[in-house]
């Protein structure tokens, strides 16, 4: 298991429209990106804590872009954690476009719009990897918070494997299904067919 020491940690109270959280800003390593964990309630050792590990998506999370479901998932995850009464949302920066960065992601959007490529083929057409995200930082901050077993808000089995591989037990995967729209159906279909996400609400009606 990797060294759990985080390079830099700062904590404060964060009041939001959804509720009050303990904001834990941290770095996993010197020079690395700064991440944020939002802790609601009082997660305790031994609990299977409701957790969302969310990859940064500036266009979706901040500007409510309709081509992806990222912003909607972020909102739904926060609402679920508050409704639960306790839980953690880990927001991982440096994950834009599954790790390729913002400029490259916008370039993939051009190929998607002009050539009809999906989110996978538009990345590889530019010579970029499909997914280079590392979820080790999420595992480290969860253990820093005393969270060792989670119910993971995700449709992505790879996140389950990643957290498990970094020493955090996943007691259950909790689906986080957002409405299918004309704008996001191609993206969601690629997630299901190309990236293995469990999206049963796409079947059998919704096809690009």
For 108, residues 6+ apart whose C-beta sits below 8 A from its C-beta are 97, 100, 117, 119, 122, 123, 126, 128
Summarised one tens digit per residue, pLDDT across range 119-148 is 999 999 999 999 999 999 999 999 999 999
Tokens of 94: 């440096």
| 133 part of the active site | yes
Tell me which residues of the chain have a pLDDT lower than 70. Answer: 1-5, 204-208
| 107 part of the active site | no
Instruction: Note the pLDDT of residue 208.
Output: 47
The residues with which 41 forms a beta bridge, in sequence order, are none
For 31, residues 6+ apart whose C-beta sits below 8 A from its C-beta are none
Residues 46 and 99: their CA atoms lie apart, in Å, by 32
Which listed residue (131, 158, 193, 198) is catalytic? 131
Within 13 Å, how many C-alpha atoms sit on residue 22's CB side?
14
Q: What are the start-end ranges of the H helices in 91-208?
A: 96-99, 102-115, 119-125, 136-144, 157-165, 185-195
Which listed residue (98, 107, 133, 192) is catalytic? 133
């Amino acid at each position: 298991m990797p060294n759990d020491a985080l390079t830099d940690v700062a904590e404060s109270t964060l009041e939001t429209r959804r509720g009050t959280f303990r904001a834990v800003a941290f770095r996993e390593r010197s020079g690395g990106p700064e991440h944020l964990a939002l802790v609601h309630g009082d997660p305790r050792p031994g609990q299977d804590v409701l957790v969302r590990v969310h990859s940064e998506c500036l266009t979706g999370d901040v500007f409510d872009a309709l081509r992806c479901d990222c912003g909607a998932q972020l909102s739904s995850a926060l609402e679920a954690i508050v409704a639960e009464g306790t839980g953690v949302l880990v927001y991982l920066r440096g994950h834009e476009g599954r790790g390729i960065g913002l400029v490259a992601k916008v370039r993939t959007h051009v190929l998607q719009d002009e050539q009809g490529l999906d989110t996978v083929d538009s990345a590889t057409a530019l010579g970029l990897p499909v997914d280079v995200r590392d979820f080790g930082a999420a595992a480290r901050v969860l253990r820093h918070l005393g969270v060792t077993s989670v119910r993971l808000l995700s449709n992505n089995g790879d996140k389950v494997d990643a957290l498990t591989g970094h020493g955090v037990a996943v007691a259950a995967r909790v689906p986080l299904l957002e409405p299918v729209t004309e704008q996001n159906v191609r993206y969601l279909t690629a997630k299901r067919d190309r990236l293995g996400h469990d999206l049963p609400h796409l079947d059998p009606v919704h096809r690009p």
